[in-house]
Amino acid sequence: MKLFPVRGGIHPEYRKDRTSECAVVAMPMPRILYLPLQQHIGAPAEPVVQEGDLVKKGQLLARGQGVVSAPTHAPTSGRIGAIDRVTAPHPSGLPQLTIVLEADGRDEWGELAAPIADPFAAEPADIKARVAASGIVGLGGATFPSAVKLNLGTQHKLQILLLNGAECEPYLTCDDRVMREYAGEVIDGARIMAHALGTPRIVVGIESNKPQALEAMTKAASAFGNIAVVGVPVQYPMGSERHLCQAITGLETPARKLTADLGVVVHNVATARAVHHAVRFGRPLISRVVTVTGGAMADGRNVEVAIGTMVSELVAFCGGLREAPRRIVSGGPMMGAPLPSLEVPVVKGTSGVLALTAAETNDAPAGPCIRCGSCVTICPCGLSPVEMAPFIRKDNFEAAAGLGVMDCVSCGSCSYVCPSHIPLVHYFNYAKGSLNAADRDRRQQERIKTLAEAHNLRLEKAAEAKRQAAAAKKAQTESQATTP
C-alpha cells in the first residue's frame, strides 16, 4: 500500500525493549477498587448504587449522563464501601467522586447482556447501543466514548475504519502485546465496528518497529479481503489520529475538523478488543492492559489489571520501585500526565504507568530562546512555536490564537527538541486552558444576560397585568355606582 509523507515529527529513544517481550499477565484482584465517576471525556457518570449495596462482577455501578458520557461497571463482586472524594489520576491532584468497591474475593459474574450471536446481521444501532452500555471509551488514552464515534457514519460518508496500532509513545508496549497475543479478537472487534460504522474498508496502521505485531495482525486479517495491515514509518507522533490518517490517505485534516470529514474514523486496537468482548460475550469494560515500566521500576511488565486498582498496588505487583522516582507518569512520557502520587486508581485511559528517574526526565532550567527554528521544523501541525510562546508569556492569548495555538495537539515534540529547554508545550497547554476558560466565561455571561432580560420581562408583564386588573375593577365599581 502506498504511504504518504507526514510533516515534522521527532525520533526519540523508544526504550520499548524492556517490556516488549513481556507477555500480558493478569494481576490478582485487589481487595479494594476505586472507580472514579469521570474516566472519560464528557459528563461524569451518575451512580446507580448506594453505600452498602452488594454487587456482582460486570454489574452497572454508574450510568452515563447525556450524549457524550460513559457508564462504569463493577470489575469484581463485592460491597460498595462508599461513594466518596478520592484523588483523581490527574496532574491537578484534585479529588473527584469515586465509587469504592470492597471485593468479596469470590469474583462472581452477575447477569450479563446476551451475546450478539451474529453481529454482522445485527442492526448497526444495536451494536452502538451495546458499545455505549458497555462503557467502552478510547483506550489509546483520549478516553472519548467509542459509541459516539461509531455514530459518525450518520452524518459523514465514511470510507475507512483506521485501526490505530501505531503506539508511537516511547516505553509503551501494551498495544503491541495486545496485537501480538489477541490479534483475532482485535480484528473481530474491528470488523464489528466497521459494520456499525458502515465503512467498506479497514486499514490497520502499525509502526514498523513492531514486526511481530505486524505479522500476527496480517495473519489474523488474511481471511478477510477488506482489511489491510500496513507498517507505517517510525516517527513520533504517528499515533495521533490526524497524522496516521494523513500517512494512510495523504489527506490533511483541516483545522477544527474531524478525520470523519475526510471519510476516516480512527479507533485504537485495544478499543476494538473491548468491542469484541462486549458484543460477543456481553462483557463490559472492566479491565485493561497497562505497561508498567521506567528506570525507577524494579521490573517492567504488561499487566491486565482491573479498572480501579490503586497504582501503588500495581507497582508492588510488578516488583516495586528500585529507587525513588523523579516523576510518576500515567500514559507515555511525551503526552502522558504526571501523577500526584502512587495513591490514585488505574482508570480506563491509563495505558502506562512510568516511574521515571531523574536521568529520564528533563528538568533543566529554561534558557533564552536562540531562535534556531528547530521547533518550527519539527511541528507536525505546521505551527510556529517560536512565535506563539512569547505572546503566551505576555498572556496575549488572542495573538497566540491567531497563530493557531488551538490547533496544537500537545504532542510535545517542540519541547523535546528545544536546545534551550523552553517548556513550549506547557505554554501551549496553558494558553489552550486559558482560552477555553475565557470561552466558558463568555457563555456564562450570555446566559446571565438572557436570564436577566427574562426576569425583567416577567416583572413588566406582572405589573401590566396588575394595572389592567385595577383598571377593570375601577370601571366595574364606576358602572355599579352609575346604575341606580
Partner 1 sequence: MFDLGPVYQSVGSLAAMGAALGAMLGAAAKFLAVEENPLELELAGLLPGSQCGQCGFVGCNQYAAALAKNEAPVTACAPGGKDVAEKLAKKLGVTADLSDHEDKGPRRAVIDEDLCIGCLRCVQECSTDAIVGAPKQMHTVLADNCHGCAKCFKVCPTEAIAMCKVPVTLGTWHWHKPAPALLH
Q: Which is nearer to partner 1, 196 or 409 (CB)?
A: 409
Identify the bridge partners of residue 32 per DSSP, sorted by sequence position: 102
| Residues 234, 242: Cα–Cα separation, whole Å | 16
74: closest CA among 113, 44, 93, 100? 100
Q: By rule CB under 8 A, what string of x and - marks binding of each residue 22-61 to partner 1? A: ----------------x-----------------------
Terminal C-alpha separation, the chain: 104
The answer to whether 92 contacts partner 1 (rule: CB under 8 A) is yes
DSSP assignment string, 257-272? --GGGGTEEEEEHHHH
- Exactly one of 154, 155, 444, 477 binds partner 1 (CB under 8 A); that residue is 444
A 10 A CB-CB count for 426 gives 15
Which cell is 311 given? Answer: 497504582
| Residues 250, 67: Cα–Cα separation, whole Å | 32
The answer to whether 312 contacts partner 1 (rule: CB under 8 A) is no
The answer to whether 463 contacts partner 1 (rule: CB under 8 A) is no
Q: Which stretch binds partner 1 (CB under 8 A): 22-30, 301-309, 323-331, 442-450?
A: 442-450
The answer to whether 322 contacts partner 1 (rule: CB under 8 A) is no
The answer to whether 66 contacts partner 1 (rule: CB under 8 A) is no
Q: By rule CB under 8 A, what string of x and - marks binding of each residue 364-403 to partner 1? A: -xxxxx-----------------------x-x--------
- Exactly one of 454, 465, 470, 475 binds partner 1 (CB under 8 A); that residue is 454
The answer to whether 94 contacts partner 1 (rule: CB under 8 A) is yes
- Exactly one of 56, 90, 191, 243 binds partner 1 (CB under 8 A); that residue is 90
* Count of residues in the chain: 484
Which cell is 187 given? Answer: 480484528
The answer to whether 201 contacts partner 1 (rule: CB under 8 A) is no
- Exactly one of 456, 468, 476, 477 binds partner 1 (CB under 8 A); that residue is 456
Measured from the CB of residue 150, what is the shortest distance to partner 1 in angstroms?
A: 24
| Residues 116, 18: Cα–Cα separation, whole Å | 39
**Is residue 214 a contact partner of residue 252, using CB atoms and an 8 Å limit?**
no
- Exactly one of 433, 460, 461, 465 binds partner 1 (CB under 8 A); that residue is 433
Query: Diameter of the chain by CA atoms?
Result: 109
140: closest CA among 159, 171, 163? 163
Angle between helices 124-133 and 183-197 (to 10 degrees): 120
The answer to whether 65 contacts partner 1 (rule: CB under 8 A) is no
Summarize as ranges the residues that interact with partner 1 (CB under 8 A).
38, 88, 90-92, 94, 96, 365-369, 393, 395, 420, 422-423, 426-427, 429-430, 432-434, 436-437, 440, 444-445, 447-449, 451-452, 454-456, 458
